[in-house]
Structure 1
């Protein structure tokens, strides 16, 4: 019986914690140089690991990176900088050249447009 009460208390506590976190998020979108499925995977997986980032979605049709984040842990400017360090443009910030050059050929800005 004690185990059941303990488990219920834990579940309620985690649920409340998750609900409380929802109100502490912000959303932002950046124009980016993403162009293919590999770009999408690279940005989503790398940016998704950053502190304060809760969700990343790359929209290839509009060439945007959409981020849900905790503004107490990371700022919009820091997110833009993180995108550039992955090798992609973020709004007016140009991609880090070394990171860009390390991207697969199809993901580089000079690559011809293609379908996935």
Structure 2
């Protein structure tokens, strides 16, 4: 009886914990151009506290980010993008970070496709 009660309580606690994750999703327009930009942004955001998923759609230059709002927020996510050297919606890229990007990834570069 004790084991059954413990099992039920454990299952309830486990299912309640997963149901209460409360993750949020945000879409942010970037100035990214190519696959190198995509890899750089996804890696940097993936290393950010609270970010669970980051994916850049190069066709519309929109970054989709799923995050835990208890650990991060949209302003911090945009700050990471800006500090990586890219625009994030209305926030302009940090100039020093932008200047460190490869020439082909800078805003003045023509859009290109990777081979």
Which of 66, 91, 94 is 1:93 aligned to?
Answer: 91
Cα distance in 2, alignment partners of residues 57 and 112 from structure 1: 22
Cα distance in 2, alignment partners of residues 76 and 50 from structure 1: 12
**Which runs of 5 or more structure 2 residues have no equivalent in the other structure?**
1-6
Superposition TM-score, scaled by structure 2 size? 0.82
Residue 113 of structure 1: CA displacement? Answer: 1.5
Residue 23 of structure 1: CA displacement? Answer: 3.0
Cα distance in 2, alignment partners of residues 89 and 62 from structure 1: 14
Q: Secondary structure at the match of 2:27?
A: strand
Cα distance in 1, alignment partners of residues 19 and 86 from structure 2: 29
1:37 maps to 35
Cα RMSD between the aligned structures? Answer: 2.0
Cα distance in 2, alignment partners of residues 22 and 99 from structure 1: 37
Q: Secondary structure at the match of 2:89?
A: coil
1:84 maps to 82
Superposition TM-score, scaled by structure 1 size? 0.82
1:112 maps to 110
For residues 68-89 of structure 1, give each alpha carbon's deviation from its aligned partner in whole angstroms, at most 9, with x where no partner exists.
0001111111111111001000
Cα distance in 1, alignment partners of residues 20 and 55 from structure 2: 17
Cα distance in 1, alignment partners of residues 20 and 58 from structure 2: 26
